[in-house]
Amino acid sequence: MHFQQILDRHAGGISKLSLAQLPTPLQPLSRLTAQLRSNNPNSPKIWVKRDDLSGQLLSGNKVRKLEYTLAYALDQGANAIITAGGVQSNHCRATAAACAQLGLRCDLILRGESPAIADGNLLLDKLLGAHLHTIPPRQYYDQLDNYVAELQSELTQQGLSPWYIPVGASDGYGVWGYLQAADELLDQASIQDIQLDACVMATGSGGTAAGLSLGMQLFAGNNVQVFAYNVCDDARYFEQKSRQDIQAWQALFDPEHHLEIDLANLPLHIVDGFVGEGYGKASRSVYRRIKQLAGLEGVVLDPVYTAKAFDGFSQHLLAGQYDHFENVVFMHTGGLFGVFPHRELLF
Ligand X SMILES: *Cc1c(COP(=O)(O)O)cnc(C)c1O
Binding positions for ligand X, 101-120, rule CB under 6 A:
none
What is the per-residue binding string for ligand X in 29-68, x denoting contact by CB under 6 A? -------------------------------xx-------
Q: Residue 240 is which amino acid?
A: Q
Considering the rule CB under 6 A, would residue 86 count as an interface residue with ligand X? no
Q: Which residues are the active-site residues?
A: 89
Specify whether the CB–CB gap between 48 and 149 falls below 8 A.
no
Part in contact with ligand X (CB under 6 A); list of ranges 115-123, 137-145, 207-215, 276-284: 207-215
Closer to ligand X by CB, 48 or 155: give it.
48
Choose, by CB under 6 A, the member of 19, 303, 333, 341 that binds ligand X: 333
Closer to ligand X by CB, 69 or 152: give it.
69
Choose, by CB under 6 A, the member of 306, 312, 325, 329 that binds ligand X: 306
Considering the rule CB under 6 A, would residue 203 count as an interface residue with ligand X? yes
Q: Nearest distance from residue 335's CB to ligand X, in Å?
A: 3
Considering the rule CB under 6 A, would residue 180 count as an interface residue with ligand X? no
Part in contact with ligand X (CB under 6 A); list of ranges 70-78, 148-156, 289-297, 333-341: 333-341
Closer to ligand X by CB, 135 or 304: give it.
304
Distance of CA 320 to the CA centre of its chain: 27
Part in contact with ligand X (CB under 6 A); list of ranges 35-43, 183-191, 315-323, 329-337: 329-337
Half-sphere exposure of 225 (CA within 13 A, CB side): 12
User: How many Å apart are CA 31 and CA 255, to the nearest integer?
Assistant: 47
Considering the rule CB under 6 A, would residue 83 count as an interface residue with ligand X? no
Q: Across the beta sheet with 80-86, what order do the strands follow? A: 131-135, 105-111, 80-86, 162-164
Considering the rule CB under 6 A, would residue 166 count as an interface residue with ligand X? no
Binding positions for ligand X, 284-303, rule CB under 6 A:
302
Choose, by CB under 6 A, the member of 120, 204, 215, 312 that binds ligand X: 204
CA-based nearest residue to 169, from 83, 104, 49: 83
Q: Nearest distance from residue 233's CB to ligand X, in Å?
A: 10
Which 3-state string (H, E, C) describes 125-169? HHHCCCEEEEECHHHHHHHHHHHHHHHHHHHHHCCCCEEECCHHH
Half-sphere exposure of 54 (CA within 13 A, CB side): 29
Part in contact with ligand X (CB under 6 A); list of ranges 34-42, 67-75, 192-200, 330-338: 330-338
Considering the rule CB under 6 A, would residue 207 count as an interface residue with ligand X? yes
Choose, by CB under 6 A, the member of 120, 215, 335, 341 that binds ligand X: 335
Considering the rule CB under 6 A, would residue 172 count as an interface residue with ligand X? no
Q: Nearest distance from residue 332's CB to ligand X, in Å?
A: 8
Choose, by CB under 6 A, the member of 208, 213, 217, 225 that binds ligand X: 208
Specify whether the CB–CB gap between 68 and 174 falls below 8 A.
yes
Part in contact with ligand X (CB under 6 A); list of ranges 36-44, 150-158, 250-258, 328-336: 328-336
Considering the rule CB under 6 A, would residue 90 count as an interface residue with ligand X? yes
Considering the rule CB under 6 A, would residue 305 count as an interface residue with ligand X? yes
**Which stretches of the chain bind ligand X, using CB under 6 A?**
60-61, 90-91, 168, 170, 202-209, 302, 305-306, 333-335
